[in-house]
Amino acid sequence: MAKVMQIYLVHAEGDDAVREKLTTQARTAKLAVEFTYLPTKQPWLPHWKASCRGKILQSSGAIVLLTKRAQDPAAIKTELELLSEIDSPVMGVFMEGRGIVPEQLRDVPVIEWNWPEVAKFIQSLGRGMTANA
């Protein structure tokens, strides 16, 4: 039985449809992956930030879903900062056409929505997990 890997999803509040697009595609492709995220953004609360850090630490990597809502840096800033601190593998994905790349993603791959490329990133995280097992 394949080990299920955790991927942390960063997305702005209200971007449930784009998150569902990604998770549905992964289910259809039968990837052994579970996605975790914090739907309510409350970075000013210490317990929220601790919960976010914990979820990221338990994940093999992260995917940042970039939309018009995510263009407000405050919407996802804390999550991006935590990813950077933890040095987690990250991929940014523009879900509604190209936009502004947040400063925290300047050094990671950022693509327009392209399922084969996203699947390749997810699978690369699984290979790293297997090597460490």
Residue 133 lies in a domain: no
Residue 58 lies in a domain: yes
What's the pLDDT tens digit per position in 23-49?
Answer: 999 999 999 999 999 888 888 889 999
pTM comes to 0.90
Are 70 and 90 spatial neighbours (Cβ–Cβ below 8 Å)? no
What is the residue range of 51's domain?
Answer: 5-128
Residue 32 lies in a domain: yes
What pLDDT score does 133 carry? 30
CA 107, 10, 117, 32 dihedral sign is positive
What's the pLDDT tens digit per position in 42-59?
Answer: 888 899 999 999 999 999
User: What's the rounded Cα separation, in Å, for the pair 83 and 115?
Assistant: 22
Q: What tokens does 18 get?
A: 């784009």
* Number of structural domains the chain divides into: 1
User: Domain of 58: which CATH number?
Assistant: 3.40.50.11530
What pLDDT score does 53 carry? 94
